[in-house]
Amino acid sequence: MLAVRAKSDGIEIEFTEPLRPGEGWSAADYLVKQWYYQPTKEYGGPKLDETILPARSVSVSEDRKRVFLALDGLREKHIVYVQLQNSPVSDLGHELWSTEAWYTLNNIPADRPGFRREAPAPPALNTLSAAEAAAGWKLLFDGKSTAGWRYYG
């Protein structure tokens, strides 16, 4: 993760590389918690009001480098913790090296909502993407018979 930004209706996560097509759309991929600390004479203090904030919706930007999580219940003067539950892989095949972020939410920005996009339709079964076809991939099964299959040896 490169950055986490507060929006008036949730948070936006920015990645250093685009996610693979179709990844990042599931709310189950993100754990979001918030809490605040009670100051003490010593450094830190106890965590108070720790709450899990389930994502109401998830949107992935067209360039797949940003994800917006629509959240209810964000509170100012709280720490927002974001953890990626299923470590996504970038479009370049790199595992993301940062799967956690902490954000101090001093103020919730007014009139700055996050972006919304519909999730793409899942790919049809037994088909190649345009990129796979351009790379020369061929399907092993034509959907009807094993006529194109060959035995080894």
Domain boundaries, the chain: 3-122
pLDDT value of residue 66: 97
What pTM does this model have?
0.79
Residue 153 predicted with pLDDT over 80: no
Q: What band does 28 get if pLDDT is binned at 50, 70 and 90?
A: very high
Residue 102 predicted with pLDDT over 80: yes
pLDDT tens figures, 38-94: 877 777 778 899 999 999 999 999 999 999 999 999 999 999 999 999 877 788 888
Mean pLDDT on 5-9: 97
Give the chain's radius of gyration (CA, Å).
Answer: 21
The answer regarding whether domain 3-122 maps to CATH 3.30.420.40 reads: no
Q: What band does 22 get if pLDDT is binned at 50, 70 and 90?
A: confident
Average pLDDT, the chain: 89
DSSP state of 96: P
Residue 143 predicted with pLDDT over 80: no
34/104 Cα distance (integer angstroms): 9
pLDDT value of residue 137: 87
141/59 Cα distance (integer angstroms): 34
13/1 Cα distance (integer angstroms): 7
Mean pLDDT on 31-42: 89
φ and ψ of 81, to 5 deg: -110, 130
Q: What band does 103 get if pLDDT is binned at 50, 70 and 90?
A: very high
Instruction: State the CB neighbour count (10 A cutoff) for residue 89.
Output: 14
pLDDT value of residue 29: 93
**CA dihedral defined by 121, 85, 110, 34, rounded to 10 degrees?**
150
pLDDT value of residue 140: 78
Mean pLDDT on 143-151: 77
